[in-house]
Chains A and B, each alone.
Chain A
């Protein structure tokens, strides 16, 4: 806001050391990124408390059980972490394209296609050593999900189709493809009430981290988030993506291949969500059926926005939202609230987070004196 103030403070042609103008001035920006989403979350909890109070329940009980169900015991921690694993991966599906200025909300579709691809690979390779089957499942899941979101990227780049709409609509197509296959060509004749594919086999499941009930999918998620962070902030590719995402005209004037960036980022984003689908099959469900459409893809959008698309910030945010969803069961049992009430909370959080976007750079005391 005070361009003049900035540029004439310094002697010409020198790089003056940053004036030590107090903690807030130096860290105001960083604090903002923690404070504003935190306040949005708190605001959402208050509104949800009012909502619950209308059902005649005590909001303080609600907050206690939410905490208890999410982080109160080792058992609830494990439940939370198990749910956080796919959220980290689906959040990357929104956060990576966001670096290029794209809003992709179709992580759910890539998750389903990834699950279907991984299941197909496992079923095709029955009898091979489990490690090989598992690696094939990872590869198939990543490629399946990756191509699915890349389709949205290609539609945008070559046909000018809005990627937000196309990625959302592709979720429904993915669901239709999944239903078509599990009720038809890939159906296990033994699955009567719930059409499913055949089991991938207990030996091919990826199992749990020793000493816990948390499956290895959490490690996949952590590795993917860290790798995404390194990719965006420490590699040539990530730099080019940030240039193109920041200003497409500047990217073109220095000759960066924007199409290639868009397609690659979309592939990696979809690959992350596809990996989430693979994890859900190989660690939880053991087969593909409509249970996979559990909304992880959509919650991932919320995680990405709360984390402001920073791959590292996604990890704690995913754990937080995993905790909220883990507490749903306890709320149902102790407070008699419908299981879906945590979805109401998620919806309220989303509204608050989107609205809080307007606050960045406008909080007086964070601006210091300048």
Chain B
């Protein structure tokens, strides 16, 4: 250990976490974990939800103070008391969710993030500096564009650029590609990889995606249940070996084989139009039929009207025109219609779209059925015992990890919130299922379980509309594939016959 020497001001440096233990009360979140990130390397941190990845990086960034253990930055022991200390040492973190101010321009966001923003900003000289800075960077972003107007991929690039602009040379990326298309993800990670190779940067990336680990990372550290499960050179490992280390003895849900043929039309959209929040046309005269026992996948880059279309189907947005029919009847997303047609919805970001964070897991599971027996006696009196009994059954069946059924659902991890929604929406009979990015940001076990449930619902004869930004997911699950671009359906094919390059071209609007 070199004592008394500051980490180099430019260029890459490494970070080691030695014998990290983090206890919350009686619970051990990290148990004697080691992490060695070599200077100038691209390091992947793998693990399931709850394995302790976030706790570990939060200890490194100074959000948590480890109960035991040391942090070495550039080979020198450092006390990182708070995120400011970490920033001063050149450590930066890019979060899964964006931290930019949407109403401000990219340039404003970058300058705003600095610690030393002057009272009066000299924009002409700042812009000159920013342009000079950008010229050295591999990414290009439009400096004077408003953040709300740029794509998710560009926003993620801005987040990374912001860290580089703040002269951070060790970047922690928390699932950076969960909002990006595969092409965007490859582009961003590829450019970061180039900077790592040039020795300008060290990267520690939290991820679930083995493809990205294999393609971009040098080293990998795998955590399981708060313990170090394995570490090594990526070149010496296979995805299978990593998956086994990550999951341990836990069995992944096996997806049932695709069985049965598509039946009659169940969900029909006819020239449906919808506006976005700003009043611009988001969904433009789309028509589609989904038949019983079939999964129709809607592919597209985020922001092409998929969200608004799903919101219309979910009753969260009024359609501007057109007609939606379920089993031949007009459909306006009322409770009675949803119930009659046995409709289920798995929206993206379930905590935001389908749950009440402050209400208990048991309450949230009962949202569809609370006004009927056995949950309600006489149609008005809540029968609390029935809530708890049903929740206990579903918690076990859907493997929801929660302390008690009475825990507020906001205390659960993302995967477990989605499992609770899955239990609610797929717990009974399903005839029509609408799912939007149901696996967004979830771990392996949760993804496998959700995919298996969707396929099982299809096999039982449900009409499934699956909207996803993850093309691999669509190719795996759907029978038919539709591409949405600028609010319209621009391409349709049987998935087995779809040409990936043609699909990609349509997604990009060519």
Candidates B226, B250, B395, B404; contact of A18 at CB < 8 Å = B404
User: At the interface, yes or no: A359 with Cβ under 8 Å from chain B?
Assistant: no
Q: State A237–B382 Cα separation when bound (angstroms).
A: 9
Q: Contacts A10-B401, A253-B353 known; A239 to B315 CB distance under 8 Å?
A: no
Q: State A331–B24 Cα separation when bound (angstroms).
A: 52
**Contacting residues, chain A, for B405 (C-beta < 8 A):** 15
User: At the interface, yes or no: A246 with Cβ under 8 Å from chain B?
Assistant: yes
The stretch that binds B, out of A137-145, A254-262, A265-273, is A254-262
Contact of B381 with A6 in the complex, beta carbons under 8 Å: no
Contact of B382 with A234 in the complex, beta carbons under 8 Å: yes
User: At the interface, yes or no: B335 with Cβ under 8 Å from chain A?
Assistant: yes
A: contact size bracket: 35 or more
Q: State A109–B422 Cα separation when bound (angstroms).
A: 46
**Contacting residues, chain B, for A247 (C-beta < 8 A):** 352, 355-357
Q: State A188–B380 Cα separation when bound (angstroms).
A: 46
What is the CB-to-nearest-CB distance from B222 to chain A, in angstroms, rounded to a whole number? 15
Candidates A6, A253, A370; contact of B407 at CB < 8 Å = A6
Q: State A21–B25 Cα separation when bound (angstroms).
A: 8
Q: State A62–B404 Cα separation when bound (angstroms).
A: 49
Q: State A10–B407 Cα separation when bound (angstroms).
A: 13
Interface SS, B side: loop
Q: State A45–B358 Cα separation when bound (angstroms).
A: 32
**Contacting residues, chain A, for B338 (C-beta < 8 A):** 254-255
Q: Contacts A2-B29, A236-B380, A243-B367 known; A13 to B347 CB distance under 8 Å?
A: no
Q: Contacts A4-B413, A8-B51 known; A249 to B401 CB distance under 8 Å?
A: no
B: contact size bracket: 35 or more
Q: Contacts A4-B29, A243-B359 known; A9 to B367 CB distance under 8 Å?
A: no
Candidates B49, B368, B382, B403; contact of A235 at CB < 8 Å = B382
Q: Contacts A5-B24, A236-B370 known; A12 to B358 CB distance under 8 Å?
A: no
Contact of B382 with A239 in the complex, beta carbons under 8 Å: yes
Q: State A243–B250 Cα separation when bound (angstroms).
A: 35
**Contacting residues, chain B, for A257 (C-beta < 8 A):** 334-335
Candidates A2, A13, A15; contact of B404 at CB < 8 Å = A15
**Contacting residues, chain B, for A254 (C-beta < 8 A):** 335, 338, 354, 367-368
**Contacting residues, chain B, for A19 (C-beta < 8 A):** 26
Q: State A28–B315 Cα separation when bound (angstroms).
A: 38
Candidates B370, B392, B413; contact of A239 at CB < 8 Å = B370
**In residues 332-379 of chain B, which contact A (Cβ within 8 Å)?**
333-339, 345, 347, 352-359, 363, 367-368, 370-371, 376, 379
Q: Contacts A4-B49, A7-B50 known; A370 to B403 CB distance under 8 Å?
A: no
User: At the interface, yes or no: A14 with Cβ under 8 Å from chain B?
Assistant: yes
Contact of A253 with B396 in the complex, beta carbons under 8 Å: no
Contact of A370 with B27 in the complex, beta carbons under 8 Å: yes
User: At the interface, yes or no: B412 with Cβ under 8 Å from chain A?
Assistant: yes
**Contacting residues, chain B, for A255 (C-beta < 8 A):** 315, 333-339
User: At the interface, yes or no: A369 with Cβ under 8 Å from chain B?
Assistant: yes
User: At the interface, yes or no: B314 with Cβ under 8 Å from chain A?
Assistant: yes
Contact of B29 with A242 in the complex, beta carbons under 8 Å: no
Interface string of A226-255 (1 = CB under 8 A from B): 000000001111111011001101101111
Contact of A250 with B356 in the complex, beta carbons under 8 Å: yes
Q: State A19–B403 Cα separation when bound (angstroms).
A: 9
What is the CB-to-nearest-CB distance from B347 to chain A, in angstroms, rounded to a whole number? 6
**Contacting residues, chain B, for A25 (C-beta < 8 A):** 25
Output the nearest chain A residue to B376 by Cβ-Cβ distance: A236
**Contacting residues, chain B, for A235 (C-beta < 8 A):** 380-382
Q: State A19–B404 Cα separation when bound (angstroms).
A: 10
Contact of A4 with B26 in the complex, beta carbons under 8 Å: no
Contact of B50 with A4 in the complex, beta carbons under 8 Å: yes
User: At the interface, yes or no: A3 with Cβ under 8 Å from chain B?
Assistant: yes
Q: Which of A6, A234, A238 is the most central at the interface, judged by chain B CB atoms within 10 Å of its CB?
A: A6
User: At the interface, yes or no: A368 with Cβ under 8 Å from chain B?
Assistant: yes
What is the CB-to-nearest-CB distance from B400 to chain A, in angstroms, rounded to a whole number? 7
User: At the interface, yes or no: B245 with Cβ under 8 Å from chain A?
Assistant: no
Q: State A237–B381 Cα separation when bound (angstroms).
A: 9
Contact of B404 with A3 in the complex, beta carbons under 8 Å: no
Output the nearest chain A residue to B364 by Cβ-Cβ distance: A250
What is the CB-to-nearest-CB distance from A228 to chain B, in angstroms, rounded to a whole number? 15
Q: State A4–B206 Cα separation when bound (angstroms).
A: 15
Output the nearest chain A residue to B333 by Cβ-Cβ distance: A255
User: At the interface, yes or no: A60 with Cβ under 8 Å from chain B?
Assistant: no
What is the CB-to-nearest-CB distance from B356 to chain A, in angstroms, rounded to a whole number? 3
**Contacting residues, chain A, for B336 (C-beta < 8 A):** 255
Output the nearest chain B residue to A245 by Cβ-Cβ distance: B356
Q: State A38–B380 Cα separation when bound (angstroms).
A: 35
**Contacting residues, chain B, for A253 (C-beta < 8 A):** 314-316, 345, 347, 353-354
**Contacting residues, chain A, for B376 (C-beta < 8 A):** 236
Q: State A370–B400 Cα separation when bound (angstroms).
A: 21
Q: State A7–B52 Cα separation when bound (angstroms).
A: 11
Q: Which of B29, B334, B397, B416 is the most central at the interface, judged by chain A CB atoms within 10 Å of its CB?
A: B29
User: At the interface, yes or no: A16 with Cβ under 8 Å from chain B?
Assistant: yes
**Contacting residues, chain B, for A242 (C-beta < 8 A):** 356, 359
User: At the interface, yes or no: B402 with Cβ under 8 Å from chain A?
Assistant: yes
Interface string of B379-409 (1 = CB under 8 A from A): 1111000000000100111111111110100
Contact of A8 with B50 in the complex, beta carbons under 8 Å: yes
User: At the interface, yes or no: B54 with Cβ under 8 Å from chain A?
Assistant: yes
Contact of B25 with A369 in the complex, beta carbons under 8 Å: yes
Output the nearest chain A residue to B387 by Cβ-Cβ distance: A239
Contact of B358 with A246 in the complex, beta carbons under 8 Å: yes
**Contacting residues, chain B, for A4 (C-beta < 8 A):** 29, 49-52, 54-55, 413
Q: State A2–B333 Cα separation when bound (angstroms).
A: 36
**Contacting residues, chain B, for A252 (C-beta < 8 A):** 314-316, 333
Q: State A9–B24 Cα separation when bound (angstroms).
A: 11
**Contacting residues, chain A, for B371 (C-beta < 8 A):** 236, 239-240
Output the nearest chain A residue to B64 by Cβ-Cβ distance: A2
User: At the interface, yes or no: B506 with Cβ under 8 Å from chain A?
Assistant: no
Interface string of B1-28 (1 = CB under 8 A from A): 0000000000000000000000011110
Contact of B52 with A18 in the complex, beta carbons under 8 Å: no
Contact of A237 with B55 in the complex, beta carbons under 8 Å: no
Chain A interface (Cβ within 8 Å of chain B)? 2-10, 12-19, 21, 25, 234-240, 242-243, 246-247, 249-250, 252-257, 368-370
Question: Which 9 residue pairs are nearest across A and B when measured between Cβ atoms?
Answer: A255-B335, A246-B356, A8-B50, A369-B25, A7-B401, A5-B24, A13-B399, A370-B25, A236-B371
Known A7-B402, A13-B396, A255-B315; 5 more pairs at CB < 8 Å:
A4-B50, A5-B29, A236-B380, A250-B354, A254-B335
22 contacts between A and B (CB under 8 A): A3-B50, A3-B412, A4-B49, A5-B29, A6-B407, A7-B49, A7-B412, A8-B52, A13-B397, A15-B405, A234-B382, A236-B371, A236-B376, A236-B381, A242-B356, A247-B356, A249-B352, A252-B314, A253-B347, A253-B353, A255-B335, A369-B26
